[in-house]
Structure 1
Amino acid sequence: MSIQDPSSPTTWRRFRDSYFLYRLQRDRRAQICMTLFVAMMASLLLTPWLAPSNPYDLAQISLLDSELPPLWIAGSDPAHLLGTDAQGRDLLSTMLYGARVSIAIGFGAVLVQSLLGTALGLLAGYRGGVIDTLLMRMADIQLSFSTLMMAIVIGAVVKAAFGGAFYGDYGVAILILIIGLSEWPQYARTVRASVLAEKQKEYVDAARVLGFSNYRIMWRHILPNALAPIFVLSTVQIANAIMAEAALSFLGLGMPETEPSLGSLIKSGFDYLQSGSWWITLLPGLLLVALVLVINLLGDWLRDTLNPRLHRARHEDSR
C-alpha cells in the first residue's frame, strides 16, 4: 500500500492555487458567465422537479388553454407563468425540457466530433505522408461546404432512407451523429497542428529510443500535451452544435414537436406571430440566444486563459 506524502498538495489545494481559478477570481465577466452557465445546467438537471408540468404527458395538456399569454399580459392564467403554446402546453415547462434536449444534442455532437476528429488528426499529424494528405484533403473538401449545408444533406438522406417515423423515434441520436459528422474537420486540423509541433520535441525522440510503439507515443505522450486546444475548441463547438440543431429543427429536419427542443419550439410558434402569440417563438428564442452567448463568452475566456503565449505577452507588457 502506497503512503501519500503529507507535504504533497491535495487536489483541492492544486485547484485553489491554479492559474484557472486565479483568472476566474479577477474577471467579472467570466464570473457572471460561469454563474449563469452553472445555474442553467442545474435548472436543466432539475427540470422534472422545477417544471410546472410535463409537456410529454397528454393528461396534463388541454387545448382549451392554448395560446394563453404570459403572466404580465391581460388574459393570462397564474398557473402558466410564461403562457402556453398552440397545443396548450405550459411554455416554461416546454422551454426547460426543450433546453435539455438541445444541450444533450450539443454535448453529444461535440463528443462525436471530438473523438473522430482527434483520432484522425492525431493519425494524420504523427504518420504524415499519404495518410496525412488523404485525411486533410477530405477535411478540406468538407470544410468547403458550410456546416449547416452538410447537416441538411446528411439529415435529408437519413430521413429519406429510413422514413419520418424512424427519424422521430431516434431523433436525438440521429442529430448527434449528423452534427458530429459535419464538424469533425475542425478538430482534425486543430489536433494535427498540435501534433506536428509536439512530435519534434525531445520527449518523443526519447520514447522512440526506448522502443515504445507508435500507438503508445501518440495516445500516451503526444495527445495529453495537445489537449488544451481541444478543450477550448469544444466550448465553442457546443454553442455551434446547439445552433445547428435549432436550424435543422426550424427546417423540419430536427426534433419533432412532440419532443420539443428549442429549435422545434421556435418553429412551432413561428406561424402564430401574425396572430399576436409572439411569446411562443420569442421566449424560446431568447433562451437559445442567452445559452449560446454564455457558452461563447466562456469559450473566449477559456481560450485566453489556456494560451501561454498570451500570458507571456501580458507579463512582458506589465513589466
Structure 2
Amino acid sequence: MNASSSALPSRWERLRDSYLLYSFKRDIVAQISLVVFIGLVAVAVLAPWLSPMNPYDLAQIDILSSELPPFWIDGSDAQYLLGTDAQGRDMLSTILYGARVSLMIGFGAVALQALIGVCFGLLAGYLGGRIDAFLMRLADIQLSFSTLMVAIIVGALVKAIFGGETFSAYAVPLLILIIGLAEWPQYARTVRASVLAEKNKEYVDAARVMGLRSKRIMFRHILPNTLSPIFVISTVQIANAIISEAALSFLGLGMPETHPSLGSLIKAGFDYIQSGSWWITLIPGAVLIVLVLSINLLGDWLRDVMNPRLYKG
C-alpha cells in the first residue's frame, strides 16, 4: 500500500506535467501579462510601505505644491517623481493607493457575482422547472440592460436614500454590492449550461442511487466539474468590475476624491487637462489601461487553454 502510494505523482509533479503549465511556457504574451498583473497587485498591496507619503493624511499634503509636473518635465520637484495633483498630493502615492482600492473592489465584486451566479445557476440547472424559468427570466431581464446602466441606477438610488456623506463613508462595500448585483447573470447562465450537461451523467445517477441529498450532489459533485468556465469568466469579470468602478467614479457615483481609486483620480484631473496638468488624468489612466489589458490577455489565454480546440499555441 505504501509502495503504491509513494509511486503516485505529487501535486507539484502533476502541475509540472500539466497542459496548463506547458501552454503557459509557450505563450510569451501570457507570461508578460501575468508578470505585469502580479507586479501591479504587489505594489498595490504594499502601498502603505512603498508610497512616499500617505495621501489620506492631511498633515502630509502641501497645497502650495499642487500641480507640480513629473520628474522629466522642467519645474518638477525631485520629491514627487510623478508630480502632484490639484490638492498637492503625491501622484505616485495616490496611484498606488488608488490601484489598491480598485483591485479590492474588482475582486470583491467578482466574489459576490460568483456567489450569487453560481448558486442560482446550480439551482436552475439541477432543479429545472419553474425555478429554472424564474431565475433565467430574471437573468434575461437584467441582461437586457447594460451593466453600467444597472450600476448607475442602483448607485444613484443608494446615494439618494443614504445620502452623499454616508455613501462616501461606505463607498467600497457599496460599490462591491452594486457591481456584484449588476453582473451575476453572466455566472448563472454559464453554470446552468454546465449543470445541464453534467446532471444526467453516470456519476450523478450513482450519487442519487446512494441517497445523497440534492444539495450535496450539486456542490460536492457537479460544481467541481463546472469550475473551468467559472475561472475563465472570473478573469474577464475582474477587468469589467474595475472598469465599472472607474466609470461610476468618473460619473460621481463611485469613490470620493478624498479616498481615491484609479477612476476617481482620472475624474479629479479631468478638469485640469486644458490648463496643462495632463499628468493628473493621463498617468492614472495609463495604469488603469495596463491593469485591465493584462487581466484581459490572461483571460483570453486561459479561455483558449480550457478549450484546447481553440488553442493554437
Q: Which residue of 2 aligns with 1:185?
A: 185
Q: Which residue of 2 aligns with 1:305?
A: 305
- 1:5 deviation in Å? 2.6
Distance across 1 between alignment mates of 2:123 and 2:307: 24
Deviations 1:113-169 (A, max 9, x none): 000000001100000110000000000000000000000000011001111111011
Q: Which residue of 1 aligns with 2:124?
A: 124
1:160-171 aligned at under 5 Å gives the runs 160-171=160-171
Deviations 1:75-96 (A, max 9, x none): 0000000000000000010000
Distance across 2 between alignment mates of 1:4 and 1:158: 60
Deviations 1:7-46 (A, max 9, x none): 2222222221121111111111111111111111111121
Distance across 2 between alignment mates of 1:188 and 1:167: 29
Q: Secondary structure at the match of 2:260?
A: coil
Q: Which residue of 2 aligns with 1:48?
A: 48
Q: Report the aligned-residue RMSD.
A: 1.4
1:124 maps to a residue whose letter is A
Q: CA 1:3–1:41 in structure 2 vs 1: closer, same or farther (change >3 Å)?
A: farther
1:1-319 aligned at under 5 Å gives the runs 5-310=5-310
- 1:209 deviation in Å? 1.2
Deviations 1:163-183 (A, max 9, x none): 111101110000000000000
Q: Secondary structure at the match of 2:29?
A: helix
Q: Give the number of equivalent residue pairs.
A: 312
Normalised to the residue count of structure 2, the TM-score between the two structures is: 0.97
Normalised to the residue count of structure 1, the TM-score between the two structures is: 0.95
Distance across 2 between alignment mates of 1:169 and 1:230: 32
Q: Secondary structure at the match of 1:5?
A: helix
2:13 maps to a residue whose letter is R
Distance across 1 between alignment mates of 2:156 and 2:225: 39
Distance across 2 between alignment mates of 1:3 and 1:286: 56
Distance across 2 between alignment mates of 1:63 and 1:171: 25
2:153 maps to a residue whose letter is V
Structure 2 gaps of 5+ residues are none
Stretch moving more, 292-301 or 14-23 = 14-23
Distance across 2 between alignment mates of 1:72 and 1:234: 38
Q: Secondary structure at the match of 1:9?
A: coil
Distance across 2 between alignment mates of 1:248 and 1:109: 14
Distance across 1 between alignment mates of 2:262 and 2:249: 8
Q: Secondary structure at the match of 2:7?
A: coil
Distance across 1 between alignment mates of 2:238 and 2:143: 18
Distance across 2 between alignment mates of 1:135 and 1:308: 31
- 1:310 deviation in Å? 3.5
Stretch moving more, 122-131 or 43-52 = 43-52
Distance across 1 between alignment mates of 2:60 and 2:238: 33
Q: CA 1:178–1:4 in structure 2 vs 1: closer, same or farther (change >3 Å)?
A: farther
2:118 maps to a residue whose letter is T
- 1:283 deviation in Å? 0.3
- 1:308 deviation in Å? 4.2
Stretch moving more, 42-51 or 292-301 = 42-51
Distance across 2 between alignment mates of 1:9 and 1:51: 44
Structure 1 gaps of 5+ residues are none
Q: Runs in 1 of length 4+ with deviation above 6 angstroms?
A: none
Distance across 2 between alignment mates of 1:35 and 1:308: 24
1:203 maps to a residue whose letter is Y
Distance across 1 between alignment mates of 2:4 and 2:86: 62
Using the aligned pairs only, state the percent identity: 70
